[in-house]
Amino acid sequence: MQKINSTMLIEKAAQLLENGTADRVLGWKKGEFDYDITPAVFNSVDQIKKEFVFGDFCGANLSKYLVKETRKGDGKVAVFLKPCDTYSFNQLLTEKRFDREKVYAVGISCEGMADIFKVKQIAGDGIVSVSSDGENVKVETLYDGEKTIKLSDVIAERCINCKSRKCVAYDELMGEEGEIIDSDRFDMVSKIESMSEDERFGFWQNELSKCIRCNACRNVCPACTCEKCVFDNPDSCAQNKAPADSFEEKMFHIIRAFHVAGRCTDCGECSRVCPQNIPLHLLNRKFIKDIDTFYGEYQAGAQVGSRAPLVDYTEGDIEPGEAVMKGESENA
Amino acid sequence: MRKCSLQNLETVFEKISESMTLYIPADTKDGADFTKWTKGVQMSQALNTNRSAKDFFFPQTEDLVEFKTEGKNIEVIDTRKESEDFAVFGVRACDVKSFDILDRVFLTEPYDSYYATRREHGVIFSLACTRPAETCFCGTFGINPAEPGADVSMWKTDSEMFFEANTEKGKEILKKLESVTQSADASDVDGQKKKTGEIMKKLPLSDLSAEKFGKGMTSKYFDSPKWRELSATCIGCGTCTFVCPTCQCYDIKDFNSGKGVIRYRCWDSCMYSDFTKMAHGNSRNSQTERFRQRFMHKLVYYPDNNDGMFSCVGCGRCLNKCPISMNIVKVMKTLGGEDNE
Amino acid sequence: MNNRKEALIPAVGVITDIRIDTPDVKTFRVVTPDGKKAFEHKPGQCAMLSIPGVGEAMFSITSSPTNTEFMEFSIKKCGCVTEWLHQAEVGQQITIRGPYGNPFPVDDVFAGKDLLFIAGGIGLAPLRSVINYCRHYKDRYGKIDIVYGSRSKEDLVDYKEIIDEWVVDPDINVHLTIDREQEGWDGHVGFVPNYVKELGFDTGKTAIVCGPPIMIKFTLDGLCSVGFDKKQIYTTMELRMKCGIGKCGRCNIGSKYVCKDGPVFRCDELDELPDEY
Amino acid sequence: MQINGEFKPLIVAFCCNWCSYAGADLAGNNRLAYPENVKIIKVPCSCRVNPMFILRAFQRGADGVIICGCHPGDCHYTSGNYYTRRRMSLLFSMLNFLGIEKERTRVEWVSAAEGAKFAATMNEFTEAVAALGENKRLEDLRCKR
């Protein structure tokens, strides 16, 4: 199968503008270096030809931008969605966060994105150029010259544990539709579950104490689209700008994860953007895992219109006391 | 100039920590960060710390004052305790410069005693860079990473660490360290300085110039249509402001603990939607306006009020950390680009 | 350095009198617990008032600096701090710090000039301090005119003082107006900017304008259209403030901080600032 | 909470207006003793309890939090307690995941007729929390000084 590359997407994006399918395109824009790619809205073919780019560092999930972008005027927005982004796309549609009519979605197959921090850890500082052929990553640095790294060694954590390579929503597909794959994404959650209570507390105390409360995890999250977040609302008694006490750190992250429980598609953006490298996705995955165990398997965003587990119930649901035990011992 | 062998660096740490708390950059699983030194903690080889050194003087949260209320009465209590001396080891030239920038904000009248006390009690050992990264652009703002400054400048070679005092405070502490250091010749580090200078020229951002920005440029850039495009995908988080060594905006908040009200201040970000929100409106309603505020402040407003000094030091943290990789370099290149002339 | 004034630590103030001015404006008299004035200030300056646990906000000091006994604040109910104050009783303690900002140039620029005060609604609050200051030193200034308008008669702040002291003062001319016809009102009816034009003031006067943003805008346009120079017009602004000392970074318009470089601005200075307020 | 040098756990009990609060009332009427450190907060329905309420209770000094509602199927609002059941299952499992003692949180269904169950539950829960000692893992140091 041919890997989707920049040229193919540029051609497609330009074509969508030229034939009037859309009047703007949400895509990725070249940065200063080969890896610092910014999501961008393209308005002209010229701009697309000059600045559009697609490659192994285009991890950003563009689906959330549709909420804002579809509110601007009548025209259609074309958007490129990787498989995991299509789940967010469906979830946003389920919650009626944007008008489907105003969007032209192009699904693109994906084999996993690279993580520049992993590249830097292996290749060292001073990266002048980095390119990949789908198998190897060629890195040139200021101090150590050229190095070749296996792409599989620098794949982002969230992509190693990818749950599905299937594009579940699109108007047009580039590459293959892909398939839902078996993943080991709950392994780390299970590992933490099997720790002792003190170890678990220690692990999270250590991770969450790094939080600087920049809100990047919340702001990037495609499930966090409230018009006014409870943490920004002075009347909510939850507004708090800084982790003034270790309690506040825990509170923020518990509530953040709880508010997206059952709606989180596990796209992994929260952990990707965290400047302090807190494994926030583990909190979300714990909820997903528990939901699967307690109420049957559920994948948010797999279908438009599915009922999220937390706004649903059955009369025979598990009791909280048992649930806590089950959530702990499921893998023991 | 003094020096010690790298093997003996630990004795220097020990000596310093006899009289004050010492923080050194140490490796964690996510990169380097300033860590309180205790025996066995090793100094990191990393170029710079994740979080900037401003935290030592302007912490993310700090209590200002406490109130006890009883009926209609209020008692105001200053809860501050006597500050302790501390030393920060291995601060890079960019972060050193950031103290100058913060000083101009906090130490001009009316003077901020919380910040000032920490400045008085802190000794800074700066460390010259030898391997700047591609994201470094301190040169743009006239910073020489081979002459880091602050109380004591340090240069690290393969086998030795060199110390040079720049201030009275620095001289005093080097005097205390005489028993664990040897005298050295200033020319011993000339080679390193020269080499660093050459590398600086080769950095990908070495051609970035701040010439087009500075004092009196408000009208030139304020209404630029480029702001909309640049900020189009900004998610409005506070990452850039919180990792920035020069961002100094803060909020003052009250926390009712049930036993009293603690008034504390915490970092705030001009990128946040509630930053300028008042009871009857918001002067910066859109993300574009908030985005513009941040960069205009660094590149124009601050220079306006501070003799042309920029409030960016080119440390590159925002380049590494921004969730969407939008940063001051892209802003400067886009706004200062030819098509804006 | 320890005897330096702590900029962010407030002092305690006691509310000794509460006057109901309009349905949503009350005037609070504040002194220190031992009955003195909290600090000296100049006309147009502000103070940070706070209620621990509720919040802190900036208010202009409405009383004149010539009042040596106490300070007054006319406060309109609009946010959480003001709402709390409105339900407070006499004897309640609050905290106060200040003075902040630049005053009106009453002692140099204004000296010897004819002054024209134009206020709308609660906008009289900051001007009242200047007006009473100028009345106190009336021999230093030329003629004083006051144009003041509000939605209705009930919404005129300090109506009693206006009628009892200003209107009867032979040295000043008071022109009152309300937005709509109302029973028991035989004065002028109409918006302030239009009234100013109708009155047709001599363009040699120095104008001091304060009110809602839309009123300020039209009044400025009106004054300029009849020949006032922007250098002759002063106004006072407000934006969200936290520290009051130009450090917390939110109240700036371009490179000027309203709390430190303002709140009083000359209109030509405002023109140089970017349009962000 | 330390009283005269002895640790007495502070328990916050969220009780629904229709069943559990009436159950607590009945316990009182029948002179059934339960610890005085159980502080009852009446809520219209157990599903009114926002996860934030629970965390805030811990922040402000609670050593244990219990939520009492109508028995499943008996909710005054038909289905409120079904939602409570799902939410609390997930929340408590998450708190446990974060290493916060699972014995500090509980959900119990108490009807208006179950005064004895209310008292027994409170006695037993208080005892279980007392055995854990003070809440340290979800405390806010600012509230303790």
Contact criterion met (CB < 8 Å) for B112 and C53: no
Q: Which residue bears the tokens 């579950």?
A: A193
pLDDT attached to residue D101: 94
Residue A53 dihedral angles phi and psi, to the nearest 5°:
-150, 150
User: What confidence category does residue A232 fall into, taking pLDDT thresholds of 50, 70 and 90?
Assistant: confident
What global pTM score does this model have?
Answer: 0.91
Q: Which residue bears the tokens 């027994």?
A: D120
Closest residue to B330, CB basis, from A32, A39, A240: A32
pLDDT attached to residue B340: 44
Amino acid identity at B298: K
pLDDT attached to residue A139: 93
Chain B residues within 8 A of D140 when measuring between CB atoms: 257
Residue C215 pLDDT exceeds 90: no
Residue C228 pLDDT exceeds 90: no
pLDDT attached to residue B338: 55
Contact criterion met (CB < 8 Å) for A254 and D97: no
Interface mutation vs chain A, best among D89, D100, D136, most A CBs within 10 Å: D89
Distance CA D36, CA D41 (A): 14
Radius of gyration of chain D (CA): 15
Tell me which residues of chain C, numbers 87 to 116, contact chain B at a CB-CB cutoff of 8 Å.
89, 91-95
The verdict on B99 touching A (C-beta cutoff 8 Å) is no
Please state, for a pLDDT cut of 90, what percent of chain C lies above it. 18
Contact criterion met (CB < 8 Å) for D85 and A317: yes
Residue A102 pLDDT exceeds 90: yes
Contact criterion met (CB < 8 Å) for C56 and B69: no
Distance of CA C183 to the CA centre of its chain: 29
ipTM surpassing 0.85: yes
Which burial class, exposed, middle or buried, applies to A272 when counting CB atoms under 10 A from its CB (0-12, 13-18, 19+)?
Answer: buried
Chain C residues within 8 A of B263 when measuring between CB atoms: 52
> pLDDT by residue (tens digit) across D47-75?
999 999 999 999 999 999 999 999 999 99
Contact criterion met (CB < 8 Å) for B237 and A232: no
The residues on A that touch B, with CB distances below 8 Å, are 31-33, 36-41, 60, 65, 125-128, 142-143, 210, 212-216, 218-220, 232, 234, 240-244, 272-273, 275-277
**Same fold across C11-100 and C115-236:** no
Residue C126 dihedral angles phi and psi, to the nearest 5°:
-70, -30
Distance CA B27, CA B33 (A): 7
Average pLDDT over residues A124-136: 88
> pLDDT by residue (tens digit) across B180-235?
999 998 888 999 999 999 999 999 999 999 989 988 888 889 989 999 999 999 99
User: What confidence category does residue A329 fall into, taking pLDDT thresholds of 50, 70 and 90?
Assistant: low
Contact criterion met (CB < 8 Å) for D145 and B258: no
Distance from CA of D6 to the nearest CA of A (A): 25
Q: Does an H or E element contain B154, and which?
A: strand B152-156
User: What confidence category does residue C135 fall into, taking pLDDT thresholds of 50, 70 and 90?
Assistant: confident
Interface mutation vs chain C, best among B247, B301, B304, B310, most C CBs within 10 Å: B301
Local structure of A118: helix, strand or coil: helix
pLDDT attached to residue C1: 37
pLDDT attached to residue A332: 45
Residue A225 pLDDT exceeds 70: yes
Chain C residues within 8 A of B284 when measuring between CB atoms: 276
How many Cβ atoms are within 10 Å of B233's Cβ, its own excluded? 24
Distance CA A176, CA A166 (A): 8
Q: Are C41 and C71 in contact (CB under 8 A)?
A: yes
User: What confidence category does residue A104 fall into, taking pLDDT thresholds of 50, 70 and 90?
Assistant: very high
Interface mutation vs chain D, best among A283, A324, A325, most D CBs within 10 Å: A324
Average pLDDT over residues C6-27: 90
pLDDT attached to residue C2: 41
Average pLDDT over residues A206-225: 94
Chain B residues within 8 A of D143 when measuring between CB atoms: 257-259
Distance CA D94, CA A254 (A): 8
Strand partners, C212: none
Strands B152-156 and B160-165, by their bridges, are antiparallel
pLDDT attached to residue C5: 65
Please state, for a pLDDT cut of 70, what percent of chain D lies above it. 99
A255 CB contacts (<8 Å, ≥6 apart)?
A230, A231, A238, D51, D52, D55
User: What confidence category does residue A1 fall into, taking pLDDT thresholds of 50, 70 and 90?
Assistant: low
Which stretches of chain D drop beneath a pLDDT of 50? none
Token pair for C179: 């937005």
Spatial CA neighbour of D130 closest among D2, D9, D38: D9
C53 CB contacts (<8 Å, ≥6 apart)?
B67, B69, B254, B256, B261
> pLDDT by residue (tens digit) across A14-73?
999 999 999 999 999 999 999 999 999 999 999 999 999 999 999 999 999 999 999 988
B213 CB contacts (<8 Å, ≥6 apart)?
B221, B299, B300, B303, B310, B332, B335, B336
Residue C246 pLDDT exceeds 90: no
Structural domain spans, chain B: 2-60+82-202, 218-259+268-340
Structural domain spans, chain C: 11-100, 115-236
Contact criterion met (CB < 8 Å) for A201 and D137: yes
B245, C44, C47 from C64: Cα distances, Å: 43, 9, 13
Interface mutation vs chain A, best among D58, D90, D105, most A CBs within 10 Å: D90
Interface mutation vs chain A, best among D45, D58, D86, most A CBs within 10 Å: D86
Token pair for D48: 């009114």
Chain B residues within 8 A of C249 when measuring between CB atoms: 248-250, 268, 270, 297
- Neighbours of D, requiring at least 3 CB pairs below 8 Å, are A, B
Distance CA D69, CA D71 (A): 6
Distance from CA of D144 to the nearest CA of A (A): 12
A172, C121, C147, C211, D107 from C182: Cα distances, Å: 66, 16, 19, 22, 62
User: What confidence category does residue C268 fall into, taking pLDDT thresholds of 50, 70 and 90?
Assistant: confident
CATH number of C11-100: 2.40.30.10
> pLDDT by residue (tens digit) across C30-42?
999 998 888 899 9
- CA angle D108/D111/D114 to nearest 5° reads 95
State chain C's mean pLDDT as an integer: 86
Residue A252 dihedral angles phi and psi, to the nearest 5°:
-60, -45
State chain A's mean pLDDT as an integer: 91
Contact criterion met (CB < 8 Å) for C11 and B223: no
State chain D's mean pLDDT as an integer: 93
Chain A residues within 8 A of D81 when measuring between CB atoms: none
Query: Dihedral of CA A189/A192/A194/A198: which sign?
Result: negative
What domains lie within chain D, and their CATH numbers?
2-143 (3.40.50)
Q: Are A84 and A293 in contact (CB under 8 A)?
A: no
Average pLDDT over residues B16-37: 92
Q: Under CATH, which architecture does the C115-236 domain have? A: 3-Layer(aba) Sandwich (3.40)
pLDDT attached to residue B230: 92
- CA angle B323/A180/A1 to nearest 5° reads 85
Residue B299 pLDDT exceeds 80: yes
Distance from CA of D140 to the nearest CA of A (A): 5
The verdict on C163 touching B (C-beta cutoff 8 Å) is no
Closest residue to A128, CB basis, from B61, B134, B233: B134
> pLDDT by residue (tens digit) across A278-290?
999 999 999 999 9
D19 CB contacts (<8 Å, ≥6 apart)?
D68, D69, D70, D71, D74, D76, D109, D110, D111, D112
Tell me which residues of chain B, numbers 42 to 61, contact chain D at a CB-CB cutoff of 8 Å.
none
Cβ contact D–C (≥3 pairs, < 8 Å): no
DSSP B172-223: HHHHHTGGG-EE--GGGGHHHHHHHHHHHHHSTTTT---TT-STT-HHHHTT
Q: Does an H or E element contain B242, and which?
A: helix B239-243
The verdict on B52 touching A (C-beta cutoff 8 Å) is no
Alpha helix (H) residue ranges in chain A: 6-18, 45-51, 65-69, 83-94, 116-123, 157-160, 187-193, 197-208, 216-220, 246-259, 269-273, 281-295, 320-329
